[in-house]
Structure 1
Amino acid sequence: MTTELKPDPSVIGGVPVAPFALLPEPEKLFAKRAARFAFLAQSSNLAPYLTFLGDLTQVQARLVADLPPPALPDAARIEVARAARMPPIDRQSAIADPVLHETLDRLCAGAAAIDIPAPARQALEAVSLAPREDRDWLLGNVLTDTIPADSVAPHLFAAAAAQVHMARIAATLDVAQLVPIRTGICPCCGGRAATSRVIGLKELENVRYAACATCATQWNEVRIKCLCCGSTKGLSYRSAETAKATVKAETCDECQSWVKIFYTLTNPAIEPIADDVGSLGLDLMMKETAYRRGGFDPYLTGY
């Protein structure tokens, strides 16, 4: 009896190779994120905000299975994007998808039933009643990673809807059809990295993946490289805790930016977005420096 041997694309010359991208599984993604928000709230000064985000993320998790299918990039779009080194998901086109607006409607309805701080509830009511033109503006800002600091609250709900919509699209893509866009840019939707994590995969350790706050795709990046400008020079790491901290600010002297990097080998429960909010203390520490935050996370706009 013989066994047929098939090539393993994750191994080249006997050496394991990190997959280029890790696509989201939306239901699991939002359920895990909600649980992480709830856990972090148990021992944080940010407990009210973390609890709110955990409840909102539970709404996202419930929505995933009940929504109609979103508009997906067709084979021609994917091939053109691949050839031009562009993301296959067109963010501008997504704004016009009726399913995204239905997602926002349903998210607002679900959010109305959870415990929300008064200012956020006023924003939720405003978004729920907003005309299409205003909603397009909110979603357009979210999908261009440019949320105005003076209207964070309504954009938070638009961002939560966009996360559901874009993760559902990203989940349908084929990793083999994705190509690197440029350093720090999501290969699925073109969004800026929110954070990155150093993780272990099978026989691989200390592999770095950047995370998109919008579609939740994670993609492999060089371990020591600025996610904002691509430089490998002038990088240093700062922490609000100890040298063995599980979260640090990767600072770049070339572009004067910084992005959070998490070390999950000692804490595998770390979730790129929930722990980004949970480590706000690092953001506050970095505000006292000359570096600007480079990671985009709609839940931290204004901090």
Structure 2
Amino acid sequence: MTRTTVSGAVGQGTGRRLSYVAFAAVIVVYLAIIQVGGLIVRNAFGAERDTMTTTYGVLVSMVLPLGVALLFVYGVVAYLGWWQPVLRDDRPVRLWVMIVPAILVVAILLAINYGALLGKGFAFILVFLLATQLVGWGEEGLFRGIGVTVLRQHGLREGQVALWSSLIFGAAHLSNAIGSGVSALPQALVVSFAGYFFYLTRRVSGGNILNSVLHGLFDFSLLTGTAILANQGSYPGTLAPILVYIVLAVLLLVRRRKIEPAGDPTGGTA
């Protein structure tokens, strides 16, 4: 990694240049902190069971490793000198794209299992919300922050940035095969679509904050209908994100040529 001037699409100011190999190494370390570090922490603190059904389990199995992973991501951002391009996005899209985060908010509100949360208590809700926000800020900082900046820095057109940042995001979730086996494969595919939605949210909001918050809330809503319901049936609200994926996919496919501002020379997101 060498110091260079970072300008234009990746923000104003100076910063280091990150190679694709170095970016891959950053991803591997991030995943290792969560997967391997999480396993070590769970064993050390006796939280091998019910990792997401008790306040203590969430603190040990999620908040601790995710917190360290988040510090690692933004430590990398600080080392690279990329605060500007990671936290702000200077590639606007047309205003109608704001419908993407708006629809995501609707999905979040529909998917939350309010009854299950109330049964868990206030302390659990706060800790679980913290844990999922750590996921959102960590993954968005890594994939939509550092990842998008790396791809732009290497001269990719914006359509390529959208595609590859989303695919890399999905591929990284294959690491979940450690705990869930082959079910991680369809999850990686679905996550790639989600990555594109968060990418558009970053661009339409002009920064990496809204997509980070929504990412965390999206995971929060999904997990309230699945992971915290030990020995119970599935929650119908979890169908909302699936329907939203379909709606957004169709909408963006139909309007793919109306995402970039008129006359934009960067290649578009189609």
Higher relative contact order (CA 8 A, sep 6+): 2
Specify if TM > 0.5: no
Q: Looking at secondary structure, tell me which structure has more strand per residue.
A: 1
TM-score (norm 2): 0.29
TM-score (norm 1): 0.27
